[in-house]
Amino acid sequence: MAQNQPTLNFPTKGIVFIPIIIFLIILFAKSTETIKSGQAGVLYKTFSGGVVTDETYGEGFHIVAPWNEMHVYEVRQQELFEKMKVLSSNGLEIQIDASAWYQPVYNDLGKLHQTLGENYLQRVIQPAIRSAARSVVGRYTPEQLYSSKRDAIQDEIFTETKKILEKQYVQLNEVLVRDVTLPSTIKEAIERKLKQEQESLEYEFRLVTAQKEAEKQIIEAKGKADANKILSASLTDKILQDKGIEATLKLSESPNSKVVLIGAGKSGMPIILGNQ
């Protein structure tokens, strides 16, 4: 006698909906964009005008039609490091190590994407800072660059680079010149010259100091001589005698034992003999 075999019943209606659910999940994933902190987005509409230039999409969750595309940019300040070889005013090769702080202009992000694209750093910022550095350094000698003009060329490179970028939808915040490297022979020659100049200045300073000290001593000696002349001219015998009497009176008032000889001194002045 044959036994009845168990039959398996599959929910055929549920199987039909699985591809639909998967399709909806993929469609939803393609239709959303999450813009992270410090970023902003530019929307490209495939069937209605291309790049949206009058709106910048900020941080957070956005619904985007699957046939459109969101391009995400870093809008925080970024740093570009550059090592540049440029020529000084006398044709010597100088290496400049500099960095630039920059960021895209937030409200013009759509225009930046439309005109320059995501590689705007290579297209405009690097060429701009290199051009400005060549222009500025070419105005100075190696000695000026090494000793006294570091801050000046930094400010001038910033000003010229900013002028180039002001119509490129990029904001330049700062340019820092980190190092100026000269050929070793030129650097050594400049250091020797600066050392000699410093020694010369120190020698001149010592000469000036000695001269001033001599003049001071001459003036003091002349003043003492003039004072002695005036004092000698004003001391008559009468004044000396009065001064002697005053001194004798003060000594006589002292409690120490003493002997006073009246009329024994010069010009009849008393002499006081103490016990010491």
Rounded CA-CA distance 138/88 in Å is 4
Distance CA 145, CA 139 (A): 10
CATH topology of domain 78-182: Tetrahydropterin Synthase; Chain A (3.30.479)
CA distances, 22 to each of 15, 19, 31, 66 (Å):
12, 5, 14, 15
Distance separating alpha carbons of residues 252 and 246, to the nearest angstrom: 10
Least confident piece of the model among 14-18, 72-76, 127-131, 217-221: 14-18
End-to-end CA distance of the chain: 161
Strand partners, 35: 60
Could you say which DSSP state residue 57 is in? Answer: B
In this prediction, what percent of the chain has a pLDDT beyond 90?
35
Alpha helices in the chain (DSSP H): 12-30, 109-115, 120, 126-137, 142-147, 150-165, 184-234, 237-252
Give the pLDDT confidence score for residue 150 in this predicted structure: 77
| Domain ranges, ordered by start, for the chain | 14-74, 78-182, 194-234, 237-274
Between 106 and 260, residue with greater pLDDT? 106
d(CA 55, CA 68): 15
Closest CA to 67 of 48, 40, 89, 81: 48
Rounded to the nearest 10 degrees, what angle do helices 126-137 and 150-165 cross at? 140
The larger pLDDT score, comparing residue 239 to residue 143, is at 143
Structure-model confidence comparison of residues 218 and 108, the more confident one: 108
Most confident of 143-152, 201-210, 252-261: 143-152
The pLDDT tens digits of the residues spanning 93-123 come to 888 999 999 999 999 999 999 999 999 999 9
pLDDT at 254 over 60: yes
Q: Could you tell me which of 1, 94, 110 has the C-alpha nearest to residue 45?
A: 110
Between vectors from CA 86 to CA 140 and to CA 144, what angle results, nearest 5°? 25
Strands 78-87 and 50-51: unpaired
Greater pLDDT, 232 or 259: 232
Candidates 78, 71, 74, 77; CA nearest to 39 is 74
Mean per-residue pLDDT over the chain, rounded: 78
